[in-house]
């Protein structure tokens, strides 16, 4: 029998599906990696589990501890799954540009959710970055995930998503197109694919107000490029 011991073992190995209707006038074969087949419904399950496992391995996350993270929701769901299975508490700090439904789901799976204002500077004590760091410092036996600077984020995709894409396309992939959030998916997958074939093109897609485009082109991180926006209503 092929049985998963827990829900975490079902993360990854998502299907690759050919897009037909929207590509009918194109000569290229366009495939979609269906990451919402992960148990938490997003690609973030991969890195959430990897970050937790690595923190357990090096002692940053101890038995019965509390996980603290700033999240727009998807990473929080991945962390919630790991917390449920492994017996941790979870505090998710988010912004008011996310939907109430997303917060309701996180609370339903046991997370404590704290909502912070969006239109403040990152170093403002009210920002979700500042609040999540402060809570991690104030909460006994806690671990601050810090997905933006956590190398396990990128490694998760180097070890799983990249190899899956390469295998599922029989190594014939020529272009990789991906949304950019923390940068973990694009950097991890791109590193793996380009080690296999340096000619593969990688395209990162982000919303208006992203700082990645200018940084990629100029090497300058320009805070004036950041704009508040609503992602969900």
Site of tokens 């029998």: 1
Distance CA 97, CA 219 (A): 28
The pTM for the full model equals 0.91
pLDDT over threshold 70, residue 131: yes
Averaged pLDDT, 2-29: 95
Question: Can you give the pLDDT at residue 83?
Answer: 98
- Least confident among 85-89, 197-201, 210-214: 210-214
Q: Return the half-sphere exposure (C-beta side, CA atoms, 13 A cut-off) of residue 191.
A: 12
Does the structure show a pLDDT above 70 at 57?
yes
Residue 230's pLDDT band (boundaries 50, 70, 90)? Answer: low
Angle between helices 44-57 and 74-86 (to 10 degrees): 50
Average pLDDT over residues 36-49: 98
* Tens digits of residue pLDDT in 132-181: 999 999 999 999 999 999 999 999 999 999 999 999 999 999 999 999 98
Residues designated catalytic: 44
Residue 10: predicted pLDDT: 98
Of 74, 69, 86, nearest to 185 by C-alpha is 74
> Distance (Å, rounded) from C-alpha 91 to C-alpha 128?
12
Res 183 pLDDT > 60: yes
| Residue among 66, 229, 39, 61 at smallest CA distance from 150 | 61
Task: Give mean pLDDT, residues 106-133.
Answer: 93
Model confidence pLDDT, tens digit, residues 59-75: 999 999 999 999 988 99
* Domains of the chain: residue spans and CATH: 47-144 (3.40.50.1100)
Range in 109-118, 130-139, 224-233 with the lowest mean pLDDT: 224-233
């Amino acid at each position: 029998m092929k049985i998963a011991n827990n829900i975490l073992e079902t993360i990854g190995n998502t299907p690759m599906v050919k897009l037909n209707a929207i590509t009918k006038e194109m000569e290229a074969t366009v495939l979609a990696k269906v990451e919402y087949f992960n148990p938490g419904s997003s690609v973030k399950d991969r890195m959430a589990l990897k970050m937790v496992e690595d923190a357990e391995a090096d002692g940053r996350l101890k038995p019965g501890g509390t996980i603290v993270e700033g999240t727009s929701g998807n990473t929080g769901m991945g962390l919630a799954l790991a917390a449920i299975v492994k017996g941790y508490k979870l505090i998710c700090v988010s912004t008011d540009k996310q939907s109430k439904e997303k917060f309701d789901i996180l609370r339903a799976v046991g997370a404590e959710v704290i909502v912070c204002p969006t239109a403040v500077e990152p170093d403002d004590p009210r920002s979700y970055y500042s609040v999540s760091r402060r809570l991690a410092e104030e909460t006994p036996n806690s671990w601050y995930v810090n997905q933006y600077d956590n190398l396990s984020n990128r490694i998760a995709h180097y070890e799983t998503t990249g190899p899956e894409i390469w295998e599922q396309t029989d190594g014939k992939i020529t272009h990789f197109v991906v949304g950019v959030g923390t940068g973990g998916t694009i950097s991890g997958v791109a590193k793996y694919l380009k080690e296999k074939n340096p000619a593969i093109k990688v395209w990162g897609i982000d919303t208006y107000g992203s700082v990645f485009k200018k940084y990629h082109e100029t090497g300058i991180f320009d805070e004036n490029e950041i704009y508040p926006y609503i992602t969900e209503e």
